[in-house]
Chains A and B, each alone.
Chain A
Amino acid sequence: MSELSPYLADLPRLAPELLLTALALIVLVWDLVLRGRDSRKLGYLTLFGLVGTGWLLVQQWHAPTSTAFGMVVIDRFGTFFKLFTVGALAVVTLFVLSDRREKKHGVGEYFFLLIGAAIGIFFMVSTNNLVLLMLGLELLSLASYALAGFHKGSKRSAEAALKYIVFGGLSAGVMLYGISLLYGLTGTIDLAAMGRNAADGSSISLAAQFTASPVPVAIAVVLVLAGFAYKISVVPFHFWTPDVYEGAPTPVTTFLAVASKAAGFAALLRFIGALFMAEGVEVAVSAYAQRIGLLLALLAAITMTLGNLSALRQTNLKRLLAYSSIAHAGYALMGVAVMTSAGFSASIFYLAAYYLMNLGAFGFLLFFEGVTGSEDVDSLKGLGWRYPLVSCAMVVMLVSLTGLPPTVGFYGKYLLFYESVDAGYAWLAVVAALNSVVSLFYYFRVAKALFLTTVEDKPRVLQPVLTGIIAVLAVFTIVTGLFNRPLQEWANAGPASLHIPAAQK
């Protein structure tokens, strides 16, 4: 009993994860009892459970940083992303409940898989332990593969799932190989211990390896980065994104584009922060931060440019949003590339903005799939006049995605520009700025289709829940663009809890 007690003492710290796990199991069993009938109840239960999880997370936000089981770090950085995951998941659940095309499928497993993916994210964003990180990532991935192929009858959905598995499996293997190299080089799988020299001498510090021969370490780091790059769909690991996004059911696409991508970013930030930038990291390691930064800056520039240029030619709104999400990964990567604590804050802020505007944009997509049954931009023609509220909200999202004031997307971009110029990457800011102009062209193709043409009147299809969500998100997008102090403070809390020292100026 006494041997168990320290573990039991740590358990309450994992309350949100435990609650989610319990929720997932209840949903699964209840679905079996219901035999696929009336699965809406499961949706409501999921929402209820998510509210509880959110409440627990808010408690954790105010609690001091702690570690459970020596692996799971409960800090504000992780909690921030968990809260956003819960929020996104709640919205996605509402999407599932109001998806007009979803009725013929049993959706019980849907919720189970979504919650499972969220549990994966929870562990992924809050660990310094590379193996646990990998486990979280795989849990997220496995749930996502199943979700992407959820429309069993649909050829495109099946294709999406297969592509996702093949790419995912490959990159997971690459990443695991990188991790094994890191482990081999340092003798530890704990990121914090890798960056610093372990006091008890149980591990060889990365610094020593760098000094001896930087090449193997560089290979290991780049391999791990490749795994993250796949998750956040950075060029050249982005090929799966458009096909998977297009083939997967829209609520799943929303989840992948928003929660899954942000989780990848969170893990990336933690990885880089702990290895290269945290307090106490040896000089020999942090000297390489600039080189990694340059690599990431180049990737960011290529990713946003390629994403935007490819989006220009899309006629399918879902594919267009997929390429746009690639471009946004490029923008968010700017903040990582500058390798400063303020840059990380900017990145985190941009991800929060990205949550808001993409949830809105995908909600809009779902709304119009429900109306027209099509995903083509052309089929939106004139719909703005028939559904003014949703369409105006979508215009707000488009403005924010383009990065125009007075929206949160603009403020996020401003912060990224600021940090890149401040860190000497002025060229990256110029590239990103010009990219915004390019992106305007395809984003406003949607606005053009909505408002610049008129079509005959047809009976309106009312989707009040979706309308409400999209309108609320639009209001948030504008309000947080003009008054964003709380959000900025939350974003600033991230790097602080990763022990990244603020730059001395």
Chain B
Amino acid sequence: MTEHLLSWITFLPLIGMGLIFFVPSTNTALVKTIALIATGIPFLLATWLYFGLFSKTTGELQFVERVDWISGIQAQYYIGIDGLSLPLVWLSTLLLFIGVPASFGIEKSQKAYYALLMLLEVGINGVFVSQDYFLFYVFWEVMLLPMYFLIGIWGGPRREYAAIKFFLYTLAGSVLMLVAVVALRIDMGGIEGMQAPFSIPEMMAKAKAGLLTGAHLPFGGTLLGMQFTTWVFWFLFIGFAIKVPIVPFHTWLPDAHVEAPTPISVILAGILLKLGGYGMIRACFPIVPSAFHEFAYVLGVIGVVSIVYGAFVALGQTDFKRMVAYSSVSHMGYVLLGLAAMTTWGTTGAALQMFNHGTSAAVLFLVVGVIYDRAHHRDLNGFGGLSQIMPKYWALTTLGFFAALGLPGLAGFVAEAMTLLGAYESALPGMKTLVLISVIGIVITAAFLLYAMQRVFLGKLNPKYAGYKDMTPRELLCQAPFLFLCVALGIFPFFLTDVMRASIDQWMATMGG
């Protein structure tokens, strides 16, 4: 069982999807049950993996499965996890599992909805465990289709526009990625005795040894005056940056978030955005480390621009969900800043920030969902005084907001502080200035969250809303695990850092930093 654990985690939802097809569409209870089981078991397995089986002492890949797949191009079914991917696998199984009960309010074509949700989970988990670039790319693209339909069918009024925009943006990124992967594959294929030219760890090893320089391509190491590694770096980086999303590739995100139904927004913000950051850590920077070092400062600048710009734009929003969406842009900027610093603290901070943003963004989107289900609008200026009638809601929202704005004692603080400290001690000249500028982002983040809180919860109660019920037990249960994580990881961040440490050390060594 344990030797195929990762395959089970990845493909169980696919079995669930297959089963759902055979359920008559009137029997929605059975569909939901299957969906709960098909996402629940992977979550339990991932939990078992996280707390029981995974060895924290090694930075090597664990639970590796490796068999030949498409022999013509030497692509392999090669999966495995290390400390960087395990927390994200766990988070994604948790989010998708919570995503099922959070979707119980959806009435329209439920069978198709849960089937697509299952397919989405296959894609996400698959990306986190893939160690073969071809496999990675296949999973990466498999995610797009269910997401398109989930936004496009169950979304808000402008869902068609948002869905195709999401699809086009991410596809534009990933086709560039594909060209880069093809180039890498050709270069790897030319290396003497290469058995697995798509293997990501193998690429890292060759890159470290200075062998991955494009010497085996017809144009040699340079094309149009630019190094092969530079081309590959930017092609891959843009592919992942669109997913993160990083300014200026972020414009699909607010639209997708605003139109998507609540559970899909939660999954989108909670885990899909992490795929971009994870992709950079796993499949971009260590493969072309020389180009990364060359452009680290540029990445830091892009990160800070995202932090500050995202926060300022969020401040100007009147739509609750749009505000939260822009806050994601701002928060994901820290990931880039932390990685650009090339220090252990910065990298750890970036990895933490990915996980913690996953939980706090989930809380924020669930918060928006709660009020939207009652009021059917999200205009921040249209509310007021809700704290008087929905005390539980207010309390949970406050906790979520504080976690998001980085209040000490909550998870967001640890990650942001580590990122900024790591960036501050970076050897790169000018990094200190960037850190100082990014502090503006923190202030603005606090400002827009508190300002939103004031407009929604404080002040005089609008009599229109007087009849609203407080949160239902189902809503509370959906929020609970994320809030718990926000608090727990704020106090005991080593739950995450312990798992990551060995892998981050190894990663830093690979990067030569």
Interface set of A (CB-CB < 8 Å, partner B) = 385, 395, 399, 402, 404-406, 410-411, 414-415, 417-418, 421-424, 426, 429-430, 433-434, 436-437, 440-441, 444, 447-448, 451-452, 482-485, 488-489, 505
- Which 4 residue pairs are nearest across A and B when measured between Cβ atoms? A424-B218, A433-B175, A405-B138, A488-B72
A430 lies within 8 A of B160 (CB): no
Q: Which B128-147 residues sit within 8 Å CB-CB of chain A?
A: 137-138, 141-142, 144-145
Partner of B142, one of A406, A421, A423, A424: A406
B165 to chain A, nearest CB (A): 10
Q: Which B180-224 residues sit within 8 Å CB-CB of chain A?
A: 182-183, 185-186, 190, 217-219, 223
A406 lies within 8 A of B219 (CB): no
B396 contacts the other chain (Cβ, under 8 Å)? no
A452 lies within 8 A of B175 (CB): no
Given the contacts A441-B168, A451-B153, A421 and B141 also touching, CB distance less than 8 Å: no
A448–B137 alpha-carbon span in the complex (Å): 25
Q: Which residue from chain B places its CB closest to the CB of A452 in the assembled complex?
A: B152
B109 contacts the other chain (Cβ, under 8 Å)? yes
Partner of B186, one of A421, A437, A482, A483: A421
A483–B175 alpha-carbon span in the complex (Å): 22
A387 to chain B, nearest CB (A): 13
Partner of A421, one of B164, B168, B179: B179
Given the contacts A433-B179, A448-B160, A418 and B186 also touching, CB distance less than 8 Å: yes
Q: Which B154-185 residues sit within 8 Å CB-CB of chain A?
A: 159-160, 163-164, 167-168, 171-172, 175-176, 178-179, 182-183, 185
B70 lies within 8 A of A423 (CB): no
Q: Which residue from chain B places its CB closest to the CB of A345 in the assembled complex?
A: B72
B141 lies within 8 A of A404 (CB): yes
Chain B CB within 10 A, most for which of A385, A426, A429, A451: A426
B167 lies within 8 A of A405 (CB): no
B71 contacts the other chain (Cβ, under 8 Å)? yes
Across-interface contacts of A436 in B (CB, < 8 A)? 171, 175
A457 to chain B, nearest CB (A): 13
Given the contacts A433-B178, A441-B164, A452 and B159 also touching, CB distance less than 8 Å: yes
B164 lies within 8 A of A405 (CB): no
Across-interface contacts of B153 in A (CB, < 8 A)? 451-452
Across-interface contacts of B186 in A (CB, < 8 A)? 418, 421-422
- Give how many A-B residue pairs fall within 8 Å (CB-CB): 93
Given the contacts A399-B145, A451-B153, A437 and B182 also touching, CB distance less than 8 Å: no
Q: Which residue from chain B places its CB closest to the CB of A433 in the assembled complex?
A: B175
Given the contacts A414-B182, A426-B223, A451 and B175 also touching, CB distance less than 8 Å: no
B183 lies within 8 A of A437 (CB): no
Partner of B168, one of A418, A433, A437, A505: A437
Given the contacts A405-B141, A441-B164, A485 and B71 also touching, CB distance less than 8 Å: yes
Across-interface contacts of A434 in B (CB, < 8 A)? 172, 175
Given the contacts A404-B145, A421-B183, A422-B186, A444 and B167 also touching, CB distance less than 8 Å: yes
B148 contacts the other chain (Cβ, under 8 Å)? yes
B166 to chain A, nearest CB (A): 11
A417 lies within 8 A of B167 (CB): no
A485 lies within 8 A of B163 (CB): no
B457 contacts the other chain (Cβ, under 8 Å)? no
Given the contacts A405-B141, A418-B182, A421-B183, A448 and B223 also touching, CB distance less than 8 Å: no
Q: Which residue from chain B places its CB closest to the CB of A487 in the assembled complex?
A: B72
B394 contacts the other chain (Cβ, under 8 Å)? no
Chain B CB within 10 A, most for which of A395, A441, A447, A489: A447
Partner of B178, one of A395, A417, A423: A417
B309 contacts the other chain (Cβ, under 8 Å)? no
Given the contacts A426-B223, A485-B70, A485-B71, A444 and B164 also touching, CB distance less than 8 Å: yes
B312 contacts the other chain (Cβ, under 8 Å)? no
B109 lies within 8 A of A426 (CB): no
- Chain B window 16-28, contacts with chain A (Cβ cutoff 8 Å), 1 for yes, 0 for no: 0000000000000
Across-interface contacts of A437 in B (CB, < 8 A)? 168, 171-172, 175
A426–B235 alpha-carbon span in the complex (Å): 13
B149 contacts the other chain (Cβ, under 8 Å)? yes
A426 lies within 8 A of B179 (CB): yes
Apart from A444-B148, A505-B190, what 19 extra A-B contacts exist at CB < 8 Å? A395-B145, A399-B145, A405-B137, A405-B141, A414-B178, A417-B182, A418-B182, A424-B218, A429-B182, A434-B172, A436-B171, A440-B171, A447-B149, A448-B152, A452-B163, A483-B70, A484-B72, A485-B72, A489-B72
Across-interface contacts of A385 in B (CB, < 8 A)? 109
Across-interface contacts of A422 in B (CB, < 8 A)? 186, 217-218
Across-interface contacts of A423 in B (CB, < 8 A)? 218
A74 to chain B, nearest CB (A): 26
User: What are 19 A-B contacts defined by CB distance under 8 Å?
Assistant: A385-B109, A404-B141, A414-B182, A418-B73, A421-B179, A426-B183, A429-B179, A430-B176, A433-B176, A434-B172, A440-B171, A441-B168, A444-B164, A444-B167, A448-B160, A451-B149, A452-B163, A485-B70, A488-B72
Given the contacts A385-B109, A404-B144, A421 and B217 also touching, CB distance less than 8 Å: yes
Across-interface contacts of B172 in A (CB, < 8 A)? 434, 437
Across-interface contacts of A402 in B (CB, < 8 A)? 171
B160 lies within 8 A of A424 (CB): no
A399–B143 alpha-carbon span in the complex (Å): 12
Q: Which residue from chain B places its CB closest to the CB of A418 in the assembled complex?
A: B182
A386 to chain B, nearest CB (A): 12
A404–B172 alpha-carbon span in the complex (Å): 12
Across-interface contacts of B144 in A (CB, < 8 A)? 404
A426 lies within 8 A of B164 (CB): no
A239 to chain B, nearest CB (A): 29
Q: Which residue from chain A places its CB closest to the CB of B186 in the assembled complex?
A: A422
B141 lies within 8 A of A410 (CB): yes
Q: Which residue from chain B places its CB closest to the CB of A448 in the assembled complex?
A: B160
Chain B CB within 10 A, most for which of A406, A414, A423: A414
Across-interface contacts of A414 in B (CB, < 8 A)? 73, 178, 182
Across-interface contacts of A489 in B (CB, < 8 A)? 72
Across-interface contacts of A451 in B (CB, < 8 A)? 149, 152-153
Across-interface contacts of B218 in A (CB, < 8 A)? 422-424
Q: Which B222-245 residues sit within 8 Å CB-CB of chain A?
A: 223
Chain B CB within 10 A, most for which of A434, A448, A482, A483: A448
Across-interface contacts of A452 in B (CB, < 8 A)? 152-153, 159-160, 163
Chain A CB within 10 A, most for which of B171, B176, B183, B190: B171
Across-interface contacts of B149 in A (CB, < 8 A)? 447, 451
B312 to chain A, nearest CB (A): 30
Across-interface contacts of A418 in B (CB, < 8 A)? 73, 182, 185-186
B299 to chain A, nearest CB (A): 23
Q: Which residue from chain A places its CB closest to the CB of B109 in the assembled complex?
A: A385
Across-interface contacts of A404 in B (CB, < 8 A)? 141, 144-145, 171
Across-interface contacts of B72 in A (CB, < 8 A)? 484-485, 488-489
A399–B144 alpha-carbon span in the complex (Å): 10
Across-interface contacts of B217 in A (CB, < 8 A)? 421-422, 424, 426
A489–B178 alpha-carbon span in the complex (Å): 23
Q: Which residue from chain B places its CB closest to the CB of A434 in the assembled complex?
A: B175
Q: Which residue from chain A places its CB closest to the CB of B139 in the assembled complex?
A: A405
Partner of B138, one of A406, A417, A426, A485: A406
B182 lies within 8 A of A405 (CB): no
A411–B185 alpha-carbon span in the complex (Å): 14
B279 to chain A, nearest CB (A): 16
A395–B119 alpha-carbon span in the complex (Å): 15
B145 lies within 8 A of A417 (CB): no
A489 to chain B, nearest CB (A): 8
Across-interface contacts of B160 in A (CB, < 8 A)? 448, 452
Q: Which residue from chain B places its CB closest to the CB of A436 in the assembled complex?
A: B175
A448–B144 alpha-carbon span in the complex (Å): 14
A505–B163 alpha-carbon span in the complex (Å): 44
Across-interface contacts of A415 in B (CB, < 8 A)? 73
B182 lies within 8 A of A421 (CB): yes
Across-interface contacts of A484 in B (CB, < 8 A)? 70, 72
Across-interface contacts of B137 in A (CB, < 8 A)? 405
Chain B CB within 10 A, most for which of A444, A483, A505: A444
